[in-house]
Amino acid sequence: MHDASTPDTPALHPDTLAVIAGRPAKTPDQPMSVPVHLTSTYVAGGELEYGRYGNPTWTAFEETLGALEGGRCIAFASGMAAIAAVLDLVEPGGTVVAPRHSYTGTVAALQEREEQGRLRAVYVDITDTAAVAAACDGAAMVWFESPTNPALEVADIAAIARAAHEHGALVAVDNTFATPLLQRPLALGADVVVHSATKYISGHSDVLMGAVVTASDELADATVQRRSLHGAIPAPLETFLALRGLRTLPVRLERAQATAQELVRRLAGHPALEEVRYPGFGAIVSIVVRGGAEPADALVQRTSLWVHATSLGGVESTFERRRRWALEQPTIPEGLVRLSVGLEHVDDLHGDLVRALDSLG
């Protein structure tokens, strides 16, 4: 395959890398795209040997996302599989520093491991860099999202990475919301990046997949070993679809972000809202509906374009009240509704949402 990140290749924009990385060699009669390799078994004598250890379709996806993030990528069956593999890098009994506001699946994984005595979790306000640095003393890993889900808090990745490394801790960043087009944690000092490729990377609400990108071969090899031993491998068809989605991520994200920013501007000051939260980039917006859970639950049932659903990052706009989930933190307002802005026209999205907000009375 053509590797777009080789040293003799001129520096390319991420938009270009998303299109050209992970392609077959440019020789006559080669396909433009790596096909779906539906096989469990390979002829002996090569590097692959068996379907749990590798697949050319995985390789194409991994080359592309790795080029965008600036590291070595390992594809997984889901975002949770990727999260579990990274948390398993922590030695038994180690301490993990994590944000008080995190994806509920991450919180559940940390809680389960803590209950089993496998690790100790310390929760911090990830925007308080000094507090995070203080918590790094004795930690094995600092894990965080930026922006956080669903509070949309932004962390100082570089400063946290420096503090963590001073204490010998690994730094893992969930980059699902920002994507490598808006933020490259490895370049800011992180050791590991995690993605739910289900979201913006695949982008069409038809794939479950995850990915880990590491700054070092040592961490990559350890992560590959966990994938092979635990069997959390992605299916070739899903990987093919995720790579096809990744090819259009730059144009999708550009449109969705522009729409999100305009919606934030238009929604400011609406009487039915206590707050509009937006970190300044990306396509996720959180609104806090005045009156708490009841009007927020009513809101998500009164639209025709916005879809009430728990996932995000697709071409369609979705939203949900996050405190309906038992594991959501009590510091998240009852009336907070997380919006995932899709590709519909901004006027249509705004009109649909405002009509529903106005109906709350």
151 and 105 share one domain: yes
Residue with tokens 């390992």: 74
275 and 236 share one domain: no
Q: Can you give the residue range of the structural domain that contains 264?
A: 250-358
What CATH number does the domain containing 316 carry? 3.90.1150.10
Which among 181, 212, 247 is the end of a domain?
247
Which among 207, 229, 247 is the end of a domain?
247
Dist CA 52 CA 245 (whole Å): 24
Q: Report the pLDDT value the prediction gives residue 7, as an integer from 0 to 100.
A: 42
pLDDT tens track for 99-128: 999 999 999 999 999 999 999 999 999 999
Dist CA 356 CA 301 (whole Å): 8
Which among 247, 265, 288 is the end of a domain?
247
Do the domain assignments include residue 219?
Answer: yes
272 and 296 share one domain: yes
Q: Sign of the C-alpha dihedral, residues 113, 117, 118, 121?
A: positive
What CATH number does the domain containing 59 carry? 3.40.640.10
Contact assessment for residue 110 and residue 65, using Cβ atoms and an 8 Å cutoff: no
User: Catalytic residues, which ones?
Assistant: 52, 103, 174, 199
Do the domain assignments include residue 9?
Answer: no
What are the φ and ψ backbone dihedral angles of 112, each rounded to 5 degrees?
-60, -45
217 and 165 share one domain: yes
pTM of the complete model: 0.94
Do the domain assignments include residue 1?
Answer: no
pLDDT tens track for 146-181: 999 999 999 999 999 999 999 999 999 999 999 999
Do the domain assignments include residue 239?
Answer: yes
Alpha carbon separation from 340 to 203, 204, 248, 318, 346 (Å, rounded): 11, 13, 18, 5, 13
- 195, β-bridge pairs: 211
- Which residues, in sequence order, are CB contacts of 180 under 8 Å at separation 6+? 14, 65, 68, 69, 70, 193
**How do the pLDDT tens digits run along the chain, 361 residues long?**
444 444 455 689 999 999 999 999 999 999 999 999 999 999 999 999 999 999 999 999 999 999 999 999 999 999 999 999 999 999 999 999 999 999 999 999 999 999 999 999 999 999 999 999 999 999 999 999 999 999 999 999 999 999 999 999 999 999 999 999 999 999 999 999 999 999 999 999 999 999 999 999 999 999 999 999 999 999 999 999 999 999 999 999 999 999 999 999 999 999 999 999 999 999 999 999 999 999 999 999 999 999 999 999 999 999 999 999 998 999 999 999 999 999 999 999 999 999 999 999 7
Do the domain assignments include residue 223?
Answer: yes
255 and 155 share one domain: no
User: Looking at the 3D structure of the chain, how many domains does it have?
Assistant: 2
240 and 254 share one domain: no
Residue with tokens 């090899």: 221
170 and 33 share one domain: yes
Q: Report the pLDDT value the prediction gives residue 2, as an integer from 0 to 100.
A: 41
Q: Report the pLDDT value the prediction gives residue 361, as an integer from 0 to 100.
A: 79
Do the domain assignments include residue 7?
Answer: no
Q: Report the pLDDT value the prediction gives residue 10, as an integer from 0 to 100.
A: 67
- Which residues, in sequence order, are CB contacts of 181 under 8 Å at separation 6+? 14, 15, 18, 68, 249, 250, 253
Dist CA 245 CA 243 (whole Å): 5
274 and 235 share one domain: no
211 and 275 share one domain: no
152 and 265 share one domain: no
51 and 82 share one domain: yes
139 and 170 share one domain: yes
